[in-house]
Structures are given as C-alpha cells and as structure tokens.
A and B are shown apart, each in its own frame.
Chain A
Amino acid sequence: MKKSTYNLEFKLFFRNHSAWIGIIVLLLTGFAGLYFGKSFIANQKAVIEKAAVLQKKNTLENIEHFNKDIGLIFFHNKFSSANLPDQWAAFANGQRDVNPYLISVTMLAVEGQLYDTDINNPVSMLLGNMDLSFVYIFLFPLVIIAFTYNLISEQQENGVWSLLKSQSNELAKVIWQKFLIRIAAVFTVAFLLLVLAIIYLQLPIDTTLFAVTGLIVLYLAFWFAVSIFIISLGKSSSYNASALVAIWVAICIVIPASLNLLLTQKYSVPEALQNVINQREGYHEKWDLPKEVTMKPFFEHYPQLKKYPFPADKSFSWFWYYGMQQMGDDQALKSRLAVADKLAARQRFTNIAALFFPTIQTQLTVNELAGSDLGAHLEFQQAVRNYHEQIRLHFYPAIFQEQDIASTDIKTVGLKAFMIPKVQDWSRLLPLLIWTLIFSLIAFKNLKSNALIKNAQSV
C-alpha cells in the first residue's frame, strides 16, 4: 500500500514538465560548470608548465647576455614560483582568477614585486566564473524552490486538498511523501553531478571529498528546510514562490553584497599603498645617504654576511646595491604586517557573518576546501617570501665576492612549485546543520498543528 502511493507520487512528479525542466537546467549548467571550471584550471596548469621551460631559457639568456657581471645577472634574472592548483580548484575556482598563481621575482626587494597582478580581464572577474560550485550554491536552491513552492498550495488551489483531508488522517504523511520524492530527485542530480565531477575532474577520493559531499548535502538540506518552512505556513502558491525567491535574493545576493560593502568600508586597506611607498622610499633614499646607513642595519639583519669584505671606498658596488634593496623590504615590514592584520580582521568578520548565512558559509568553505581562497593565496605569498629569502642568502656570497657566474648553481634553479596545504575545518558545517534543524523543526511543528488545515479551509 505504502509503496504504491510512493509510486503514484513519483509518477505524478515526473509527469510535470517543470520537474524535467528543473532537472535538465541543473544538468546542463552542471556540465557547463564542469567544462569551464576544468578548462580554467587546465589553462593555469599549462601556463605553469610553460613557466618551467621559460625559467630555464631566461636564465641561460641572462647568463649569456650579462656574462661579465654577476650582479647584473641577478638584477635581471627572475625566479618563478607557482601555486599549483589542487584538483578541487576546478570544482571551485574561487579567487584563483583574481590572485596571481605564478609569481616571478628577482633578487631585488620582494615587497615591490610580490603584488604584481596577472593579466586578466576585469569584466570577466566581475561577472564571475562558471564552475560547478556556482551551480550548487546558486542554482540548486532555485530548483528546490521551484519543486516545492506549491507542494501544499497546489492541492488547495485545485480543490484536491479537502478530498485528501477527508481520506487521510495523516496529512503530514502525504506531504512528507511528496517532499521525499523531490528530495530524492534533487539529491540524485546533485550526486550524479558529483560523480561526474570525480571522473571528469579526476578528484581524489579523500577527506576533501567527504567534506565537500557533507557540505553540499547540508546546504541543499538547508534549502529544503527553508522551503518546507515557507510552505508550512499554508499560503498561496504565488505567495510561497515570491517569499522563497525573496529569501534566495536576500541571502544569495543582497545580504552578502551589503556585508561586503560594509567590510570594504570598515576594513579598507590603505596600508597596502603605504607598503609600496615604504618599500620604494626605504630603498631609493639610500642612494643619497652614506653607505653606513645601509650596511649597519644590513649586517645587523645578516651577521653571517659580515665576513665578506665590503668595498666601502667604491662609489658603487653590488654589495651595497643589494643591501639597499634589502632596506626596502626591511622598512616595509611594519606596513606589511599591518596589511596582514587587516586581512585577518576581514576574515574574522566574514567568519562571523558566515555563521548566520549558509550561502556565505558554503561559499567560503568550498573555496577553502578547494584551496582557492584568499587564505591559500596569502600562504603562497608567504612561501614566495621565504623562497626569495632562501635564494638571496644562497647567492649573496657569490655576488658580494663578485665571483664568476659559472661558480654558482644558478642554472639548476628551476620553477619552484608550491602545493599549499589545505584547511579542513569541519566545524564550518555545524552552523549549516543548526539552521537546517531550526527551519525543519518549525516547519514540522506547523504541519503537525491544525493551523495548516484551518488555513486550507479558508482558501
């Protein structure tokens, strides 16, 4: 008996055109998301491979070109670092379009080079990437809304409701059946796309997969809970549709966008501009000051380099030059840390906002899990700083002693590829769960109570 009613509901659901339209829209946009997301990351991977080739080629060219002058070779020679994309980055491109994934720096002051952007089209960044995470976060909720908004009201509007009511004592059960069919349909599509993603994007079966799956399940469950909450109020189809779309617009666009405006206003980052100025002045002013002003703090910073004789009597030496460059970085240290503080404050603000808005939470979490968030980029920046320092200390002795370039191992330095370790913060799932439970419980209470039946009679 029970099975047959499920069968009937199932048939009823799939006989509906809008059900198929919803499913087809999700599948098509899902395929588009997979395709564009993958090609975006594939392009970055191809560029990183080219960069590895160019690194060697450019080094050899610089050696040939400036052969006689080791200081000049290092003035020109760039050392490239790549932020290798995680396989999941194709699933959620995140901030990888905005932030450079390839940073090439010479041995000069790193703060003047670290923030150089990639070549990109600001219009494309404004309109946003088309990846699978977009489909899950923005489009799935809309289809959930489309599937559920008239679940009860349609029966009322068709006049079936009173019939149903008279035949079944457990209205909640009937609604539950209808609801389950829709949940099953949406989750089938969601899992189908996830399986396709695993195959097409070659995603590893690891904890990230479980975390992403958990995230998607909870996020979709949240939207089902919101939907059933609204329909449990027993209003008309039009009211439900309007209310649900309004909620979607509010928490997918208006509220995050307003919070973002507030964030930019509250935590603007003039320190970044100050940092550039500090670095530039810190280095350039040294040209007009006694060499002592540069070399004293330089040797304090690097006592181990004191053993190399400094040609104080020469009007120019590479030793002094690289010392001055170092001063640029040293004098920018404070403003650099101020920028980092600002960004950390922004992150805290966003994390708090995310507790209340599952859309923000899901977006942040999925980017974090894909290693394509701002945090991963800042880690990469820090890795480049460390690498730059390592390169400096490695080649300083040869430059300061004006050795032949052949005595160094510069030719063996290839592209440095970083795989930034990802953050997996399971606690981020908790607020999603709580919101889902809250809405489900209220809806459940509404459905159990007579309110709905009373409303139904008044329609």
Chain B
Amino acid sequence: MSGTTTTGSATPAGAKQEGSTRRTRRRARRAERIRDAGGQLPTRSLVLRYILLLVVFAICIGPFLWQLSTSLKGTTEDIYTFPPRWFPSHPTLGNYDKVAQIIPVWDYALNSLKVAASNVVTNVIGSSMAGYALARLRFKGRKLAGVAFVMAMLVPLESIMIAQFTTMRELHLNNTLIAVVLPGCIGAMNVLLMRNAFANLPYEIEEAAIIDGANVWQRFLRVALPSVKGTIAVVAIFAFMGAWDDFLWPLIVLSDTSKFTLTVGLNYLNGTFNTNPRVVAAGTIIAVLPLIVMFACLQRFFFRGVGEGAVKG
C-alpha cells in the first residue's frame, strides 16, 4: 500500500470552525485536496496509483458499459454477435424513447423517489438514534436491545413476506406507498452500522459537552451526529439503494399499476411474447443512473478529515 495514506502537514481540522460559511468550507476542502495531491506524491507512485485505478476500473465498469452500449444500439444491429460488439454502429436514443412509450417512466420514478427519500429520512433518523443509544448510553437492557437488532437483521426476509402482507392488510395500508416503506424504514443493519460508528468515536469528544451541562439530546445532535457524517452518508446510500432496487415487496403489496415503483414498472419491458433487449437495457440504465448520481453527491462525506465537526476546541 505504498503512499496510500495521507501524508504532509494537515491543516488543523479545528480550523474549520462551526459557523464557517459555505465558501470558506469549500476553500478549506480545496486546500485539503491540494495538500493531498501535492508534489509530495512522487511521480512514480502517482503513475502506479493511476495504473491500479485503471485496472480496477476495467474490472468494475464492464457490465455497466455493455448495458449502456446495448441501450444505444438501433433495431437493425445484431446484439447477439460473438464476440460482443462494444460500440453501437448507429447510436440512437430511440430505445429510451420506447421505454417512455411503454411505461409512464416519470410517474414510476416519482413513486420510487418518494419511497426512497422517505426510506432515507426514516433510516437516518431512526438508526442514528438507536445506534447512539446502543453505543453511548449505559442502561439496563442495552445488550438485549442490541441482540434484538442483530436477530432482526438475520431474519430471512422472504420467509416473512406474506405475514407482512397480511399485517399491511389489517392496517388497511396495502396498495399504498406507505406499506412499501414501512417494513424497511429502520433497517437493523443500519442501526448496527451507526452503533459501530458512534462506538468508534473517542470518548473525549462528548466529555467537554457533558462538562458544559449539555443534556443527552444536545450531545447527540450537536456533538455525536456531526462526527459520523460519513456513516450517515453510507446509511443514506444503502437506504436509498435498498428502496430503489426492491422488487418483490412492492410487487406483492401494490396492486394498482399507477402506484408501481420504477423497478416493478420496468419489469413490464420483459414482454410475454417479445422482449427487445435494447429497451430493457435502456430501462436498467434509467434505473441505475439515479443511484450513481446519489453516490457521486454523497461520496464527498467519506473523504473529509476526522476533525471536521468532531473535536471542537
């Protein structure tokens, strides 16, 4: 792992004080980058790093590129040639158009967005609260509560799906988007991720707040939460992805075609009699893009220094 760890003189993390404006924060981040990328990294190791990045890139991106390429191929192009052709000979966006003709993509995407966004909000709030209690508070029954979450994570989802469906019917929630969100709205795995993140925080960071007389909610909101932004971003990504990708549960619990989520709706593209793989590929690209964008937006949270928002003063 030559040179993979950050070197050089760190800008004191505390420099980024609370109340710093967005601009100064951005400037600080830029400074951090420059520091990171700076001349301290020898050319040889930089080249090596890019070679490694490119190798992993080639391994990772293949299927995605192939999907993209298929989705851009016209109807006259043979897509079953061997070896597969990576570049469409007559690139066209017609397949994306066709997806929109076959299913109301925007309506379905909106449903998915509602479900995924709610799932992010409930998971971030619910699992950070639970995770904080499990990691930082002492109380009787803590172990038991922890075990409950571990067990919940291990329950084979498929085996309880019909029971969940019956519950939703009894709550008169079947065929609603709420029913789609509810079972996964505070994922046990996310609780454990948050617990782990809070547990890894140095104990000192809360001590100052305790001395200042902050109560437990203040400590949670003002001190602990800002220190685990990275993990919150992970939970948000997982929650979004989980809700966005879920197929079986929304299929079971929804019956109105108009309420379908995107993943369920895109399944219509696999026709009973004829399937156009190009249109299916276009559909999968439509489904995947928001996830990649979501990742691209949230990834910066993973790369901030520990100091930011954590140990203050």
- Co-assembled chains A and B: no
